[in-house]
Structure 1
Amino acid sequence: MSITLSQRSKDRLAGAHPDLAKVIERAAAISDLDFTVLEVLRTVERQRELVAKGASRTMNSRHLPGKDGKSRAVDIAPMIGGQVSWDWPLYRKLAPIIKQAAADVGVPIEWGGDWRSFKDGPHWQLPFGKYP
C-alpha cells in the first residue's frame, strides 16, 4: 500500500508548510488510492479569481502564503486511470487516509469535506489556531 507522488505534485508541495507536506508525504506512503496535488500556494490575484468564480468564499484562504512564504493548505484529488476524478465517493475514501497520515505524523489537519457548508472535497488545511 503506497503510491508515488509525481514530480509535479512534489514541486507543488514545496510551497506547503513543512508539517502539511509531511502529512501528504505520509499519506502517499500508506495510500492504496492514487492522488495528485492540485494546488498549494496561491497569489492574491488567483484567490480573487476563485472567489469571483464562486470556487472559494474567502480572501483569507490558507493557500495564501504565511509570513514564511508557505501555504497552510493543499488541494488534492484522487486519480483514476491517470485522470483527476471529481467523484465525491472517492474523496470520502481518501479522507480517512489523509486523517490517518496526519495522526501518524502528529499534525492536526482539517478537511473541507467536513465543513457544514461549502463542502470542499479536495481541500486540506492546518488549523488557524495552531498554525497562524
Structure 2
Amino acid sequence: MKIAKTFRLLVVLLILFTVGLLIYQYSTVPKEDVPLPDGLHPTVALKRDELVSLAADKGIQVVITADFRSYEEQNRLYEQGRSTAGNIVTNAKGGESYHNYGLAIDFALMTIDGQVVWDMEYDGNGNGTPDWDEVVSIAKDLGFSWGGDWRNFKDYPHFQMNFGLSISELQRGKRPPE
C-alpha cells in the first residue's frame, strides 16, 4: 500500500515536471530573426481594395480609417483613455494587435453628404439593410474575420486576416506567406 502511494506520487511529480518543462521550452522558444512588417500584407491590401470596390458597387462608400500600425502608434492608442486624454479604443499594446503585422484594417462609412460615420444603422443606399451589415458580409466573403464577432471586446469597425497565426506566433517571428 505504501509502495503504491509512493509510485502514484512519483508519477504525479513526473507529469508535473514534464508539463513544467514543456511550458518552459514553449515560453523560451527563440524568436525567428525576421524583420517586422512595415506595411499592409499584400493579400490584405488586395482584399481591402476589393472590399471598397464591391461596397461601391452596392452604393456604399467605405473609408479605411486604419491599416498597418507600428508598435509606437499602437502604444499611443493603448495609452488613450489611460494616461492620455480620450476614450479607451484598444486593449492591445504594441505587438499585441494584428494591425502591427499588417494583417488588419479598420473602416467607417461615408454618408451621401461626405461625413465619415460609424453608424451601424445607416442605410445610405436605401435598400432597407444597414450599410454596415452589407460591408461586414462582403468582408467575410473576402476572407476577413470581423471584430464584431469577438466574445469579449467587440471591435465593430475591425477586420483582420490572421492566416492561422496567433499573436504569440507573430511575436516570435512567424509570418504568413506573401
- Could you tell me the TM-score, scaled by structure 1's length? 0.71
Once the two structures are superposed, residues 54-111 of structure 1 have per-residue CA deviations (whole angstroms, 9 ceiling, x without a partner) of 211112111114xxxxx111111111122211112343332012222x1xxxxx3211
The residue aligned with 1:78 is: 109
- 1:35 is aligned to 2:62: yes
CA distance in 1, matches of 2:42, 2:75: 25
Relative CO higher for 1 or 2, CA cutoff 8 Å, sep ≥ 6? 1
2:9 corresponding residue in structure 1? none
User: Shift of the alpha carbon at 1:29?
Assistant: 2.5
Paired residue secondary structure (1:64)? helix
SS of residue in 2 equivalent to 1:121: coil
Structure with bigger gyration radius: 2
Q: Structure 1: any 5+ residue segments left out of the alignment? A: 1-13, 66-70, 103-107
Inter-partner Cα distance in structure 2 for 1:86 and 1:28: 16
Runs of 4+ in structure 1 displaced over 4 angstroms? none
Q: CA RMSD in A?
A: 2.1
Matched pairs, number: 108
Percentage identity across paired residues of the two chains: 33
Q: Does the CA contact (< 8 Å) of 1:35 and 1:79 recur in 2?
A: yes
SS of 1:58's equivalent in the other structure is coil
TM-score under structure 2 normalisation?
A: 0.54
Structure 1 residues 56 and 17, CA gap change in structure 2 (3 angstroms): same
